[in-house]
Amino acid sequence: MGGSRSSLTLTIRPASASDAGRLAELRWEFRSGRAPPAESREAFLARCAEWMHDRLTSAQWRCWVALRADAIVGHVWVRLIEKIPNPATEPEWHAYITNLYVEPAARGGTGGALMDATIAWCAAQDIDAVFLWPTNQSRTLYMRKGFNSTPDIMAQRRPPDA
């Protein structure tokens, strides 16, 4: 069948533990070009797939995948962070969005669709605050989805050479 990959129907669905191997491959693709890998691809994929499988069967992590022609081409992860109980009427969960990645050939709306699914899920869970650390390249996507820089959150990063 002719046509470009981007013309194929996009499906967003929750990830399952059986997706862990493919998700680990995408994680390698996403991160291995940023710095020299500290382990072989095979060792990383085994370690990462096991980690992802375990998290996908836990209550604290969620992941959504983007599919084109039944192939996973992107994903986004969310970690729930429980707050200490509050006597006031205030939601008692935060959500940390991480690892949004879409294969280059599938970009052009796929990341936005993944974010829409994630944000809708967070709203349905009555999450107090959703936060993330954007890259320079992803900042405009997150701003289009209603994220902004805020003085409410402070962070301390480990120095690169520590």
Q: What is the DSSP string of 104-133?
A: GGG-SSHHHHHHHHHHHHHHHTT-SEEE--
pLDDT digits (tens, 9 = 90+) for 71-82: 999 999 999 999
Residue 145 has pLDDT above 80, yes or no: yes
Place of tokens 């996403």: 30
Q: How confident is the model at residue 4 (pLDDT cuts 50, 70, 90)?
A: very low
The token pair that represents 45 in the structure block = 């994929």
* 10 vs 3, residue with greater confidence: 10
Contacts within 8 Å (CB) and 24+ apart, 136-140 = 138/100, 138/111
pLDDT digits (tens, 9 = 90+) for 10-46: 999 999 999 999 999 999 999 988 888 899 999 999 9
* 8 vs 68, residue with greater confidence: 68
* Average predicted confidence (pLDDT) for the chain: 91
Alpha carbons 126 and 115: distance in angstroms, whole number: 17
* 83 vs 155, residue with greater confidence: 83
pTM exceeding 0.85: yes
Of 67, 68, 91, 65, nearest to 78 by C-alpha is: 65
Helix/strand/coil for 8: coil
Of 123, 105, 122, 28, nearest to 66 by C-alpha is: 105
pLDDT value for 3: 41
Domains of the chain: 10-144 (3.40.630.30)
The token pair that represents 126 in the structure block = 């009555």
CB-based contact 97:76 (threshold 8 Å): yes
pLDDT value for 135: 87
